[in-house]
Structure formats: C-alpha cells, structure tokens
Amino acid sequence: MQQVWMLSATQALCMSGSFLFFLLGGIIGSALAPSPGLATLPVSVLILGVAAGVIPAGALIRRFGRRAVFAGSALLAAAGCVAAGAAVAGSSFIAFCAAAFVTGANNAVVMQYRFAAVEYVEPGRASRAIAVVLSGALAAALIGPEVAVRAADWVPSAPDAGSFYAGAGLYLLAALLLSQLSGAAPAAAADATEPPRRLAEIAAQPQFRVAVLAALVSYAAMSFIMTATPVSMHVVDGHDELATARVIQAHLLGMYLPSLASGWIIARFGDRPVIAAGSLLMIVCIAVAAYAGREVLHYFWALALLGVGWNFMFIAATTLLTRSYRPGERIQAQTLNDFLVFAAQAVASLAAGAALATMGWARLNLAALPAVIAVLAALAFTTTRTRTS
C-alpha cells in the first residue's frame, strides 16, 4: 500500500493546482473575457485539455511506463501554472486559456493514478485503493482554496497571479514524489494469461456500458453545475470572493471526504447500489439549487450534496469498470472510459457559461436532471435483465 499512499499524496498536490483554475478561472474570465458568455471558458478549456490528453496519456504510458509519464506530466503542469500567472499579470485572456489547456492535459494523467493504484493491490481491495488515491484530493480541497486566497496578492500589480505561481510549486513537488514511484505493478503482472479481446467486444458488455455511463454523468453533471457556481455566486448574485471560495471548498470536501469510507461502503453494499445512491444525492442537489434560494447557505448545501453524489457515483463506477476487463486489456479499456468521460465533461463545462447567461441558475441545474435519471434507468434495466438471465 506504500505506492498507493504515494499516489494519494501526489493526487493532493496536483489537484490543488488544478483547483486554482476551477475556483479562479470563472472570476478571471469575467474580468478578461470579451463577452459574459465566455467567462467560464478557461475552466472549460482546462477540461477540454483533460479530454484531449487522455489518448496521448494512454499511448505514452504504454510506451514509457507510468512513472516517467506521471513525473513528466507534473513538470508540464508546473509550466502551465507559471504561464497562467504571467497571463493574468499581462491581462491576456487567450494566454490564460492556453495555460489552462496545458494544465488540464496533466489532469488526464492524474486520473490514471486511480487505475495505477489498483495494480498494487489484490483484486478484492480495488475499491479501497481507488478511494485512498481519490482521498488525496481531500487535502487538495483544503490546500487549493487556501493557496488561492493567501497567494493572491504575491504580485501586487496583478491580483490572483501569485496563486498560480504558488500552484507551480505544488506541481514541482508532485513531480519529485512521482519520480520515486515503483515501476513494478505486482497485481497487474499476476494474471495476464488470457489473451486480450477487441475493444469493441469489451465495450459491448452491459457492465462496461453502465460503468462508463455512470462515470460520464457524474463528471458531466458535476462540472456543469460547479463551473457555473463561482460566476453565479460572485458575478451575478454579488457574494464576495471569500464566500465563493468557501462554497467551492465545501463542494471539494463533499467530493473527497466520503473517500475515507466509500471504498468500504462499495465493498459492503456493492457498486451498483452505491451508484444509485450517488444519483439520488445529485437529484437532491438539483432540487436545492433550483428551488431553495440564492443565499450562500443554499449554494453551500447544493454544492456539498453535488460533491458527495459525484464521489459515490464515480468511485463505484470505476470499481465496476475494473471488473469488465482482463489485465492485458486494462490500458485500452481505461483510455476509452476516460476519453468518453472527460469529453462529456468538457462539453458540459463549455456549455455552462452560455447556459448560465441564457437560462439562469435554477434552469441550468434542472437541465442536468435527465442525465442523472438516465443512470438510474440504466441501472434498473441492466439489473433486471441480469436477474432474468
């Protein structure tokens, strides 16, 4: 488990850096973008970087191994943060978006940490290993907003530029830790006797499809709502930046605090019931956001519920996915899953700014409801068909 905890620590550092973009991207975009509808573009471009980086990340890992790609990618993200700080100092919206894309590409590699962790444990402990790695982002939920607030004035002439310079330091530390990661993955090498199937055959399995759908919706719905939150709170409703930071912090805690127990919960109750529970929590989040009100407390509870719903859905979906492929198929199956998940997240995030500008906060939340209901319907359908078979 030593390697799993190392991956958890580097997850904390890397996610702290990317959280700077999620927290400040919309606010900086509101100041620099040529139109209000483009305010959330930096966050959307960061997520687009994730989607664009998934396939190259898989290919590079196959060619050079996880350790080299993980460490090299963290160095690239550090450069992206430095570029972001310079873009803020120079009031360049295009340069800031480009820096967000570079940093986002690293997140495609960071998302591979959870799959790497599974290779270091026995199959029965997969959900716990995934949860341990993702729990690293719990520390990031505390570190990221604090860095954003405390380093904001490091460059007096350019508010918030210092936050990104501080983020570069976090990525450099992550690269140092990742360079010490063991290149061996004992669990992955233990059973590779069965020949790999074609990707189309793997993707045709109902179990694989439900896992991908649940992960896809968890990320797309979460990103759609979360991307719009800082703009809705700070720009539209006039809540101050500190209140906005605390709400995003509550959301991040909701996303990652349950990781301390969700691995055990999935092992105890099964991945499908936990996916269903996460879907129901997202529905409650949408109800609170759409109908409760627009005060800080309403945003707080809606975003906290959104985070917990995402945690249950995503970790359970990842656990379900690991049971749908053989050891020799893991890179191609994981790459396809992550490409679909983060492409959907990118589209949702890109749509968030325009949706907020045209639909408003309440209707934006309601727009996410059909996708969450689709996950519950898919679970019910496949579970019923499995029992009938």
Nearest to 237 by CA among 161, 304, 302: 302
Question: Could you report the per-residue pLDDT of 345-358, keeping only the tens digit for each?
Answer: 888 988 888 899 89
Backbone angles phi, psi at 76, to 5 degrees: -65, -40
Please say if the pLDDT value at position 187 is more than 60.
no
Question: Could you report the per-residue pLDDT of 34-50, keeping only the tens digit for each?
Answer: 887 787 788 888 888 98
Please say if the pLDDT value at position 190 is more than 70.
no
Cα within 13 Å of Cα(307), Cβ side: 25
The fold for domain 2-388 equals Growth Hormone; Chain: A; (1.20.1250)
Across the chain, mean pLDDT equals 88
Q: What is the pLDDT of residue 386?
A: 61
Q: What is the pLDDT of residue 387?
A: 61
Please say if the pLDDT value at position 189 is more than 70.
no
Q: What is the pLDDT of residue 372?
A: 97
pLDDT band at 248, cuts 50/70/90? confident
The C-alpha torsion from 51 through 329 and 115 to 269, rounded to 10°, is 110
Q: In angstroms, rounded to a whole number, what is the distance separating the alpha carbons of residues 163 and 142?
A: 14
Please say if the pLDDT value at position 245 is more than 90.
no
| Of 38-42, 122-126, 134-138, 164-168, the least confident | 122-126
